[in-house]
């Protein structure tokens, strides 16, 4: 069970737990490896406390150890990149240099980018990966596990609802991504990775992306399935949400689901995820089902604030992003994803 998804621990604990899992593949030297993970967790803790140089002192010492493996080095460089990024714009070049070091070792050695990286660092990693021809890795095309990419939803609402619901479409896509990630037979392409490709081909500026082009994006990402959706609201009493899954190889629509009723978009989202998964013959274990039901928020206000946080996060305005994630969490303190992002962006908002 994913401890980070089922508890409200911050990014420090989650990353340390993830490192232990990565490093545990070497049982002979498990004690040594656990020490490296502990030291990296300590360095990230200094990041949270804005003590960036203290964190860098720890990571620099780790690189001097004779027992450091390639995977260890990537983990260390990942933290060093983040620590330098936290020091400010004048350290961007140095921060990015560690991403280059990671890519030189092998961009597909471990799954990247890390969740705790700020958005600009994540986008830079996608750029570095693309230059290495590794935007999708060999494992992404595993025939046993389907890869799915989710497009930002279209807003077909009219009148004041076109503007009022403008942020919500980003949040809905984010919730779909988080919920589909709970299926054991699915690998979900990160939302920001999809956005990166769209920005690279200068399509997202118009706000409209054709289905044909989106399918091409899916191919670039190594996805077998693409999910498209839209919302429509014309008054305060009724709305509709439609979602369709398209097979990338043939551009064939293989499943469509829709809901109509009172404007409760995030309740609809949960129902549509389950219905679409059933039509696609996906496996949802009891444990994953419980996680799906527990995730996200039932508060429309919290979801709207969270969606605004995503908007500013994508623009690298971390102060505003943090403020909106914090407001979302204050509206619903069971909203774990808002808390997680609040923890990630707090150091950058106050430094």
Tell me the domain boundaries of the chain.
Answer: 3-131, 141-279, 296-351
pLDDT at position 84 is 97
Which pLDDT tens digit goes with each residue over 108-120?
A: 888 888 888 999 9
The pLDDT of residue 202: 64
Nearest to 81 by CA among 66, 107, 62, 100: 100
Contact 118, 79 (CB under 8 A): no
CB 103 within 8 A of CB 133: no
Q: What is the pLDDT of residue 210?
A: 67
pLDDT tens for 303-333 read 999 999 999 999 999 999 999 999 999 999 9
Which DSSP string corresponds to 15-66? HHHHHHHHHTT-GGGHHHHHHHHHHHHHHHHHHHTT-HHHHHHHHHHHHT-T
- Measured CA to CA, the distance from residue 102 to residue 118 in angstroms comes to 17
Non-local (6+) Cβ contacts of 87 within 8 A are 52, 53
What pLDDT was estimated at residue 2?
A: 44
Residue indicated by tokens 């996200």? 296
Can you give the pLDDT at residue 153? 93
Kindly give the confidence (pLDDT) of every residue in the chain, 351 residues in length, as a single tens digit, with 9 standing for 90 and above: 444 443 333 444 454 444 444 443 333 344 555 588 889 999 999 999 999 999 999 999 999 998 899 999 999 999 999 999 999 999 999 999 999 999 999 988 888 888 889 999 999 999 999 998 888 887 666 567 789 999 999 999 999 999 888 889 999 999 999 999 988 888 999 999 998 988 877 654 455 566 777 788 888 888 999 999 999 999 989 999 999 999 998 999 999 999 999 988 888 999 999 999 999 998 878 887 788 888 889 899 999 999 999 999 999 999 999 999 999 999 999 999 999 999 999 999 998
Q: What is the pTM of this model?
A: 0.85
Domain 141-279, CATH = 3.40.50.10610
Residue 194 in tokens: 């999809």
CA 317 from chain center: how many Å?
A: 17
The H-or-E segment that residue 188 falls in is strand 186-188
């Amino acid at each position: 069970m994913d401890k980070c998804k089922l508890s409200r621990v911050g990014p420090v604990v989650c990353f340390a737990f993830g490192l232990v899992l990565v490093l545990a593949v070497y049982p002979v030297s498990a004690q040594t490896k656990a020490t490296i993970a502990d030291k990296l967790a300590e360095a990230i803790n200094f990041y949270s406390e804005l003590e960036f140089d203290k964190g860098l002192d720890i990571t620099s010492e780790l690189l001097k150890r004779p027992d450091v493996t390639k995977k260890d080095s990537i983990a260390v460089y990942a933290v060093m990149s983040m620590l330098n990024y936290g020091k400010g714009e004048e350290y961007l070049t140095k921060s990015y240099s560690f991403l280059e070091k990671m890519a030189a070792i092998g961009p597909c050695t471990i799954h990247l980018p890390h969740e705790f990286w700020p958005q600009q660092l994540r986008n830079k990693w996608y750029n570095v990966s693309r230059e290495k021809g590794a935007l999708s890795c060999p494992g992404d095309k595993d025939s046993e596990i389907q890869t799915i990419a989710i497009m930002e939803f279209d807003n077909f609402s009219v009148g004041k609802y076109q503007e009022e619901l403008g942020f919500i479409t980003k949040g809905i896509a984010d919730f779909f991504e988080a919920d589909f990630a709970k299926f054991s037979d699915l690998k979900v392409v990160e939302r920001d990775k999809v956005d990166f490709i769209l920005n690279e081909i200068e399509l997202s500026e118009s706000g409209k992306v054709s289905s044909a082009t989106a399918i091409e994006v899916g191919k670039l990402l190594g996805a077998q399935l693409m999910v498209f959706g839209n919302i429509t609201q014309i008054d305060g009493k009724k709305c509709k949400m439609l979602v369709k899954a398209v097979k990338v190889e043939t551009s064939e629509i293989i499943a469509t689901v829709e809901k109509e009723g009172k404007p409760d978009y995030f309740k609809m989202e949960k129902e549509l995820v389950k219905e679409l998964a059933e039509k696609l013959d996906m496996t949802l274990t009891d444990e994953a089902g419980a996680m799906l039901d527990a995730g996200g928020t039932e508060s429309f206000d919290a979801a709207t604030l969270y969606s605004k946080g995503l908007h500013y996060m994508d623009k690298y305005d971390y102060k505003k992003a943090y403020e909106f994630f914090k407001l979302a969490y204050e509206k619903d303190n069971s909203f774990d994803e808002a808390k997680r992002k609040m923890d990630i962006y707090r150091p950058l908002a106050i430094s």
